């Protein structure tokens, strides 16, 4: 260990600034695991109408799917903040739009004009009435193209399946609910850049991000202190939804809770030279996370513990794991297609063969869709990220948030993990 590291972090391997850069991290694996956890969690409720995995252990606070949401927002906070600190605001937003929108729009088209009509045809032995339905496929595209999902069903397909006892949710892609909160966090980073945080240097950005994190953290703590239900029930999916131009309404508590997770990631990035990479701290974080999940205060104590644990795993997992997702990142595709595939398998009666068979069919279908989405849509779209910049020969600005110069974008959304629709 270097003397400088020993002087500052005697009980650690060094700082995040020293160890978390370039290709040497396991973020691709972590995002893949988080996205897969969402599919696993949804399988239980979509195919069999039971509570998602982890709900009982977490004493009703959360479940495996929503826990993955927080994990995605933490990682996104680290990497998107790094991207915002490197790029002008226009280029930053352009990169974020390319990473999120093409894959989403193609997913909506595939859902509306491939999956839904096939299921409708199986139910009605024809397509009469499919296009003219009050919640038809064209309505689905118009309602949902601007990030927020305003229409969950298509031509009554899943209502029919639900009436037959085949499915337990009428949403075609309920996992998309968290994307609007991801975009809101992107806009927050863009405002910091626009306000001059980038021009003012890291110190000024630190102060702004610290202030935002403090406000969000105070809200989360205040909720836990004043409302005992916060430590006994899930965050409500519908509770005061103010309209935002173009996007629509936000569920107020989720803005603060997911924003807090994103802000924790952002703090790690701007204070990376002061954050130690410590095995004892990682062990303490893991124990704290488990205790908070099981006994309460997950949002106050468990989310910060999860943030450090994910950071430690990204840095300390063995070298072979760092190759996962380096060239081909399927996590976003798994996220946006998992719910659709699981609903389709359920509507076709796949759950009658038992959980293992249902999950296997769902995972196989999701993986195929994710691979096609990456190779045919996401990666080609990302090749446009440097459009308008000087021709090759001059250094290109990396936007992966980790110093990588590959087509794989580290800032995996969402998110983009989610749980069932509101």
pLDDT tens track for 122-158: 999 999 999 988 899 999 999 999 888 889 999 999 9
pLDDT at 20: 84
Which residue's entry shows tokens 């309460």? 296
Beta carbons of 83 and 92 less than 8 angstroms apart: yes
pLDDT, average across residues 354-359: 96
Q: Which of 6-15, 20-29, 50-59, 98-107 has the lowest mean pLDDT?
A: 6-15
Task: Look at residues 224, 291, 296 and name the one whose alpha carbon lies nearest to residue 253.
Answer: 224
Q: Which of 3-7, 225-229, 368-372 has the lowest mean pLDDT?
A: 3-7
Assign 404 a pLDDT band (cuts: 50, 70, 90): very low
Beta carbons of 399 and 94 less than 8 angstroms apart: no
pLDDT at 227: 64
Cβ-defined contacts of 365-368 (< 8 Å, 24+): 365/341, 366/39, 366/334, 366/337, 366/338, 366/341, 366/342, 367/330, 367/334
* Token pair of 287 as six digits: 């124990």
Backbone angles phi, psi at 15, to 5 degrees: -95, 165
Assign 406 a pLDDT band (cuts: 50, 70, 90): very low
pLDDT at 195: 72
Which residue's entry shows tokens 């390319």? 98
Task: Look at residues 156, 153, 204, 146 and name the one whose alpha carbon lies nearest to residue 179.
Answer: 146
pLDDT at 40: 96
Question: Which position has the higher pLDDT, 211 or 403?
Answer: 211
DSSP secondary structure letter of residue 276: B
pLDDT, average across residues 272-286: 93
pLDDT, average across residues 397-415: 41
pLDDT, average across residues 36-58: 94
pLDDT tens track for 66-110: 999 999 999 999 989 888 888 888 889 999 999 999 999 999 999
- What are the percentages of helix, strand and coil residues in the chain, rounded to 5? 65, 0, 35
pLDDT tens track for 199-247: 555 556 788 889 999 999 998 998 888 765 555 455 655 544 445 544 4
Question: Which position has the higher pLDDT, 105 or 398?
Answer: 105
Quick check: 416 pLDDT over 50? Answer: no
pLDDT tens track for 335-344: 999 999 999 9
Residues 6+ apart with CB under 8 A from 306: 67, 70, 71, 74, 285, 289
Quick check: 418 pLDDT over 50? Answer: no
Cβ-defined contacts of 21-25 (< 8 Å, 24+): 21/402, 21/403, 22/402, 22/403, 22/404, 23/322, 23/326, 23/402, 23/403, 23/404, 24/319, 24/322, 25/314, 25/315, 25/322, 25/402
pLDDT at 296: 87
Which residue's entry shows tokens 């691709």? 28
Q: Which helix (H) or strand (E) holds 248?
A: strand 248-249
pLDDT at 199: 55
pLDDT at 148: 85
pLDDT at 130: 94
pLDDT, average across residues 46-70: 92
Beta carbons of 147 and 180 less than 8 angstroms apart: yes
CA atoms of 307 and 75, how far apart (whole Å):
8
Average pLDDT, the chain: 84
Question: What DSSP string describes 290-332?
Answer: HHHHHHS-IIIIIHHHHHHHHHHHHHHS-GGGGGTTSS---HH
Task: Look at residues 257, 323, 264 and name the one whose alpha carbon lies nearest to residue 76.
Answer: 264
What is the pTM assigned to this prediction?
Answer: 0.86
Beta carbons of 140 and 340 less than 8 angstroms apart: no
pLDDT at 292: 94
Most confident of the ranges 219-228, 294-303, 404-413: 294-303
């Amino acid at each position: 260990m270097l003397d400088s590291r020993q002087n500052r972090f005697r009980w650690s391997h060094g700082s995040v600034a020293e160890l978390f850069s370039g290709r040497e991290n396991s973020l691709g694996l972590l995002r893949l695991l988080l996205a897969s956890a969402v599919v696993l969690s949804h399988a239980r409720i979509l195919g069999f109408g039971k509570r998602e995995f982890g709900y009982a252990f977490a004493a009703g606070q959360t479940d495996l799917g929503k826990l993955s949401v927080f994990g995605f927002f933490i990682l996104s906070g680290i990497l998107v903040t790094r991207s915002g600190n490197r790029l002008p605001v226009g280029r930053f937003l352009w990169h974020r739009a390319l990473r999120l929108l093409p894959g989403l729009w193609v997913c909506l088209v595939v859902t509306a004009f491939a999956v839904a009509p096939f299921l409708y045809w199986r139910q009605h032995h024809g397509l009469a009435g499919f296009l003219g339905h009050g919640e038809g496929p064209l309505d689905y595209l118009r309602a949902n193209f601007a990030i927020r999902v305003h229409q969950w069903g298509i031509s009554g397909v899943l209502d029919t399946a639900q009436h037959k006892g085949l499915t337990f949710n009428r949403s075609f892609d309920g996992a998309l609910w968290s994307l609007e909160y991801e975009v809101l966090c992107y806009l927050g980073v863009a405002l910091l850049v626009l306000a001059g945080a980038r021009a003012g240097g890291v110190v000024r950005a630190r102060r702004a991000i610290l202030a935002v994190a403090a406000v969000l953290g105070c809200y989360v703590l205040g909720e836990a202190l004043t409302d005992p239900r916060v430590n006994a029930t899930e965050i409500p999916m519908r509770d005061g939804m103010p309209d935002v131009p173009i996007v629509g309404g936000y569920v107020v508590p989720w803005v603060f809770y997911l924003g807090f997770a994103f802000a924790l990631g952002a703090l790690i990035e701007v204070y990376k030279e002061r954050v130690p990479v410590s095995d004892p701290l990682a062990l303490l974080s893991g124990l704290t996370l488990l205790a908070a999940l099981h006994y309460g205060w997950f949002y106050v104590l468990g989310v910060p513990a999860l943030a450090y644990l994910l950071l430690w795993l990204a840095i300390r997992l063995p070298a072979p794991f760092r190759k996962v997702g380096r060239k081909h990142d399927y996590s976003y595709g798994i996220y946006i297609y998992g719910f659709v595939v699981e609903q389709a398998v359920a509507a076709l009666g796949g759950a009658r063969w038992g959980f293992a068979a249902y999950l296997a069919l769902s995972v196989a279908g999701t993986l195929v869709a994710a691979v096609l989405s990456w190779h045919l849509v996401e990666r080609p779209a990302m090749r446009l990220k440097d459009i308008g910049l000087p021709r090759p020969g001059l250094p290109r600005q990396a936007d992966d948030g980790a110093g990588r110069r590959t087509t794989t974008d580290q800032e995996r959304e969402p998110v983009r993990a989610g749980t069932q629709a509101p």
